[in-house]
Amino acid sequence: MHLSFVILTTALCGKCHECPHFTDEGDPCTMAAYAHLKKVLLALQTHRKPLPKGGSNQDPLPQKRLLVESLFKDLDADESGHLSGSELAQHGTQEQELDEDLLGCSLGDLLRFDDYNSDGSLTLREFYTAFQVLQLSLAPEERVRVTTVTVGLSTVLTCAVRGDLRPPIVWKRNGLTLNFLDLEDINDFGEDDSLYITKVTTVHMGNYTCHALGHEELFQTHVLQVNVPPVIRVYPESQAQEPGVAASLRCHAEGIPMPRISWLKNGMNVSTQMSKQLSLLANGSELRIGSVRYEDTGAYTCIAKNDVGVDEDISSLFIEDSARKTLANILWREEGLSVGNMFYVFADDGIVVVHPGDCEIQRHLKPTEKIFMSYEDICPQGEESSQSCQWASAVNVRNRYIYVAQPTLSRVLVVDVQAQKVLQSIGVDPLPAKLSYDKSHDQVWVLSWGDVHKSQPSLQVITEASTGQGQHLIHTPFAGVDDFFIPPTNLIINHIRFGFIFNKSAPAIHKVDLETLMLLKSISLQSHGCLPQAMAHTHLGGYFFIQCQQSHATPAAPQLLVDSVTDSVVGPNGDIAGIPHTSPDGRFVVSAAANSPQLHVQEISRWGEIQPLYGLRVPQGISGLAFQRSFTEGNQYSVYATLETEPSLLFLELSTGKTGLLTDLKAPPEGPAWPWAEPLRVLRDSGLFGQYLLTPAQESLFLINGRQNALQCEVSGIKRGTTVVWVGEV
């Protein structure tokens, strides 16, 4: 280390062997005095040859460059482009006439200190360097550079700001400096100050700027686009229909750019066979056959393509007379009787399994029903003679089990979907109120409040949740936490490594490793005075949206944006307040609150830019909210929302902005609401290919048909069914 310092110093001092750092006691021209000399020279030059004022070039940097250049020309008496010792000495005598104290330095010292190549003269470039005028440049066509990378690959962004003796490059993302952050994925600043991003994912998309240290005004913007090959799902995988009925084959594709969908029937492109009978809807995401005939039997391949890849899958259709039973037919009948594609509603009177298509209660587990493994009642008789259940939150574990919290019994029930039975109960800390399923690690997170005042909250984790039994309960060490957030997975992002815990009355969120359950870092929200209330995430650009409350009761505080690449606060999300909800694909963010008539919709562009789409005034505050995939346009959504105090249901078609109210619903469940209740008027969708939504009323359930945008039916006789889980294909 010491050695390199000496070498560096010598190199900077050129042939001078009396560097200012090592001057003899006797040498009067110290570094400070030398700096003073240069300042005086520039001042004199300004005085002698003032630069034209009011020109277009008012930036201090080019101004200084012009000044230094004019000084050089004046000193270069023989116009050779080189300042020799004698030229400097000659000038030096003139300067001394100006009664300025040069503190023992003379112009000759320029040669001593700044003759980099030690050739005994100074070029304009050396002169510029001596006066710290850098000639940095950036070609106009390089100001914005778009880089497109496929997810999973690495990329290098090279800064096009050039110039001799360019100071180190500073890289920023969302206005935050990346250098020295010690990031895992942006971990190397190369020899030429390039930015290396290893294993690019969609969170990395967005703008990266670079500039030379101290020269922020000259910056380049790299727009990083991330392409993702298509990922598809078809529905159903197979079906059997009788002749004459309509059949629908569906295919959902995600990817960046948006994949194009086409269908093959037994290997032949169907787009050439379109007719009244055979049609493609919603950009090819649905193949519809009006009235099936025997010859429609076949393997239909959905193919989704974009610039970076292809994905395909088969949906089979069998046309069979009901009298004739083929294997496929049998298989399908079994599927028809299957236990999947149902809503599970946890109500006062036990657990109700609802088939949405025909609005039937398929099964009802009464409070007296026994837990399979312990033979206890699922809802034991309380002090009052009535035997009713109290539920908090519930989660679906791989369409196999439902874990549901019983707050007053300090336990979590495990419901076996296949057997439609309560399999076992797991004892947890008092008052379990919120559950969340971490799919990536097959763990159910349980937040217990301790008591109704949340005075002793604790976080527990049930591991190996999808095994149904033999799980372990782990007590996490986190103290003082009263809420948590685990980002959702989707078709493109199927592994989530980090979650967040927070205390709703402390201005910070804390990042935890979901696998090791270790606290990684804390992100302070103090400077924005934000007390975090709720969070949402989009993998596009890697933003977290945080609903904030301010300690002093001001009107709703704006949400904060946190960048998941740098784990830093980017700033407020405009003036948008409320609870953020992201669409399953991460493209839309809808913000609304129970106490506000505002509803905002934002879209994340394929460059990771958050753009406003709509700001609406809604008749009431919003309680529950759900996204329903569009049946008319591929990769679009409608939003359905329950209103806080009105029976009606709001709907908004995101692609057009069309809104409406579904009336004829009944009054929402009345209080007393349990303190741990989620929104009283929850609204559940039915997954990727679902078309039904469910919301509870005071003594019934309402099913909404999202394809027809209409009320499907009311299932009566179910009181306070405020905990609802959808179970898809089993």
Ligand X SMILES: *[C@@H]1O[C@H](CO)[C@@H](O)[C@H](O)[C@H]1NC(C)=O
By CB under 6 A, tell whether 303 contacts ligand X. Answer: yes
> Bridge-partner residues for 700, per DSSP?
716
Binding residue for ligand X (CB under 6 A) from 33, 40, 176, 258?
258
Residue 209 CA to residue 173 CA, distance in Å, equals: 7
Q: For the window 308-337, what string marks contact with ligand X as x by the rule CB under 6 A?
A: ------------------------------
- Residues contacting residue 626 through CB under 8 Å, at least 6 positions apart: 639, 640, 641, 683, 684, 685, 693
Least distance from ligand X to the Cβ atom of residue 221, Å: 5
Least distance from ligand X to the Cβ atom of residue 505, Å: 4
Binding residue for ligand X (CB under 6 A) from 30, 46, 207, 238?
207
Binding residue for ligand X (CB under 6 A) from 35, 124, 223, 688?
223
Q: For the window 96-135, what string marks contact with ligand X as x by the rule CB under 6 A?
A: ----------------------------------------
With vertex at residue 47, the alpha carbon angle to CA 46 and CA 52, rounded to the nearest 5 degrees, is 60
**Per rule CB under 6 A, count of chain residues that contact ligand X:** 23
By CB under 6 A, tell whether 269 contacts ligand X. Answer: yes
Query: Residue 114 or residue 311: which is nearer to ligand X going by CB?
Result: 311
Instruction: Report how far apart the first and last C-alpha atoms of the chain are (Å, whole number).
Output: 65
Least distance from ligand X to the Cβ atom of residue 255, Å: 10
Give the residue carrying structure tokens 């100071």: 167
Which of these segments, 163-171, 551-559, 595-603, 628-636, binds ligand X (CB under 6 A)?
Answer: 628-636
Least distance from ligand X to the Cβ atom of residue 508, Å: 10
By CB under 6 A, tell whether 168 contacts ligand X. Answer: no
Is 491:583 a contact under the CB 8 Å cutoff? no
Which of these segments, 51-59, 130-138, 261-269, 721-729, binds ligand X (CB under 6 A)?
Answer: 261-269
H or E stretch covering 95:
helix 85-97
Is 316:239 a contact under the CB 8 Å cutoff? yes
With vertex at residue 718, the alpha carbon angle to CA 371 and CA 659, rounded to the nearest 5 degrees, is 125
Binding residue for ligand X (CB under 6 A) from 262, 424, 602, 623?
262
DSSP secondary structure letters along 691-716: -EEEEE-SSEEEEEETTTTEEEEEEE
Binding residue for ligand X (CB under 6 A) from 9, 93, 271, 273?
271
Number of other CB atoms surrounding residue 527 within 10 Å? 8
Q: For the window 629-668, what string marks contact with ligand X as x by the rule CB under 6 A?
A: ----xxx---------------------------------
Is 578:593 a contact under the CB 8 Å cutoff? yes
Is 650:693 a contact under the CB 8 Å cutoff? no
Number of other CB atoms surrounding residue 324 within 10 Å? 7
Least distance from ligand X to the Cβ atom of residue 524, Å: 13
Which of these segments, 61-69, 104-112, 258-266, 509-517, binds ligand X (CB under 6 A)?
Answer: 258-266
The residue type at 552:
H
By CB under 6 A, tell whether 609 contacts ligand X. Answer: yes
Least distance from ligand X to the Cβ atom of residue 284, Å: 8
Q: Dihedrals φ, ψ of 335, to 5°?
A: -65, -35
Residue 113 CA to residue 518 CA, distance in Å, equals: 54
By CB under 6 A, tell whether 176 contacts ligand X. Answer: no
Least distance from ligand X to the Cβ atom of residue 59, Å: 20
- Closest residue to bound ligand X by CB: 480
Residue 581 CA to residue 561 CA, distance in Å, equals: 13
Which of these segments, 158-166, 262-270, 464-472, 561-569, binds ligand X (CB under 6 A)?
Answer: 262-270
Residue 189 CA to residue 180 CA, distance in Å, equals: 9
By CB under 6 A, tell whether 505 contacts ligand X. Answer: yes
By CB under 6 A, tell whether 550 contacts ligand X. Answer: no
- Residues contacting residue 645 through CB under 8 Å, at least 6 positions apart: 620, 621, 668
Least distance from ligand X to the Cβ atom of residue 141, Å: 13
Question: Could you tell me which of 650, 679, 678 has the C-alpha nearest to residue 662?
Answer: 650
Binding region for ligand X (CB under 6 A): 144, 206-207, 221, 223, 258, 262, 264, 269, 271, 283, 303, 454, 457, 480, 482, 503, 505-506, 609, 633-635
